[in-house]
Amino acid sequence: MILAIETSCDETSMAVMDEAGRVTAHRIYSQIADHQPYGGVVPEVASRCHVEALPPMLDEVLAGLGEPLPRIRGVAFTRGPGLATSLLTGMASARALAVRLGCPLAGVNHLHGHAVSVRMTEGGEVGALALPALILLVSGGHTLLLLEEEPTTYQVLGQTLDDAAGEALDKGAKLLGLGYPGGPEIEREAGRGDPAFVPFPRGMSRPDPNPARALCFSFSGLKTSLRTHLGRHPDQLTSHLPDLAASYQEAVVASLLLRVRDALDRYPGVRTLGCAGGVARNRRLRALLAEEARRRSLVLALTPPAYCADNAAMIAASAHLAGDWVDPVSGNVDVLPGWGL
């Protein structure tokens, strides 16, 4: 069995995965309430919360297994990208545990974990995927279009040139006077609103003429246009909040779909359309992706909502499928806060 630890940002999470790729234990402690008074994640607060949450969580996970400790054959942890001080807490815990158990250690790329999560089933099993797959990875810090031709090897086809989709939702929510994190708040308001109320611009509605950027995204203009709109119509914050939220959410989601369609046109051999990351919880985005997959007769692989936000099950899955196992004492497992995919 693999024990995995995720502490890249504001979620402390642990998971155990058995030899067959089944999640047998999973805990997530979300720090949202700890950061809410500040309107965003405070790195200092995050690392302190991890330090407090990790030991009792480990006790709980191990107790729940009802198995003796030595059955763990490897310890995985998130090596990057993420907040340096948060990553360090997970690395130190994982390393100490691996030394104590005399088992190898794997430093996992957080984005690889998100990408692999499209294979997870609702029941917590790592399944197979029909390849090639196009995967839209949308989180608070990243917006990536990935092509998976060989299992768990990802080619970055495009990414955002400025804000990530989740960041655009978080910043938009702030402008609308909604709470943090903004994505779920906007989705909740949008449920009662009219998405056609304000025709906010779709970021890069036409692809960048530079071929290297043809599949890239941009969200900073959208945020600015919301700010400008609110400057002109401040009264709408009270009279039309759901309509504004629905219009803004629609612009973010439609911008994502534009590039997904471009990528699918460009890679006609793709068999699976996947989506992962915190923003993949969004029901409007899931519905549009499902419609696109149906229209093109593609297999749909949306990460189950329980594994969209940061979690250790996806870190365990990444290590299970493609772990880079090293000796916990002599191996280089330094954290990599700016690690790309």
What are the residues binding Zn ion (CB under 5 A)?
Answer: 139, 310
Distance (Å, rounded) from C-alpha 4 to C-alpha 124? Answer: 14
Distance (Å, rounded) from C-alpha 119 to C-alpha 22? Answer: 12
Q: What is the nearest approach in angstroms of ligand KG4 to the Cβ of residue 233?
A: 24
Q: Is 282 in the site for ligand KG4 (CB under 6 A)?
A: yes
User: Within positions 162 to 191, which residues make up the interface with ligand KG4, using CB under 6 A?
Assistant: 166, 169-170, 181-184, 187
Q: What is the nearest approach in angstroms of ligand KG4 to the Cβ of residue 38?
A: 15
Kindly state the tokens that stand for 317. Answer: 């899955």
* Residue 184 interaction partner, one of ligand KG4, Zn ion, none, beta carbon < 5-8 Å per kind: ligand KG4
Q: How many CB atoms lie within 10 A of CB 323?
A: 20
- Taking residues 212 to 251 in sequence order and writing x for each that binds ligand KG4 by CB under 6 A, - otherwise, the string is ----------------------------------------
Distance (Å, rounded) from C-alpha 81 to C-alpha 327? Answer: 22
Given a contact cutoff of 8 angstroms between Cβ atoms, the answer to whether 330 and 73 are in contact is no
Q: Is 80 in the site for ligand KG4 (CB under 6 A)?
A: no
User: Distances from the Cα of 154 to the Cαs of 77, 151, 187, 193, 337, in angstroms?
Assistant: 20, 8, 29, 37, 19
User: Within positions 104 to 163, which residues make up the interface with ligand KG4, using CB under 6 A?
Assistant: 139-141
User: Within positions 296 to 335, which residues make up the interface with ligand KG4, using CB under 6 A?
Assistant: 309-310
Q: Is 90 in the site for ligand KG4 (CB under 6 A)?
A: no
Query: Quick one: how far is CA 109 from the chain centroid?
Result: 12
Chain residues in the site for ligand KG4 (CB under 6 A): 9, 139-141, 166, 169-170, 181-184, 187, 277-279, 281-282, 309-310
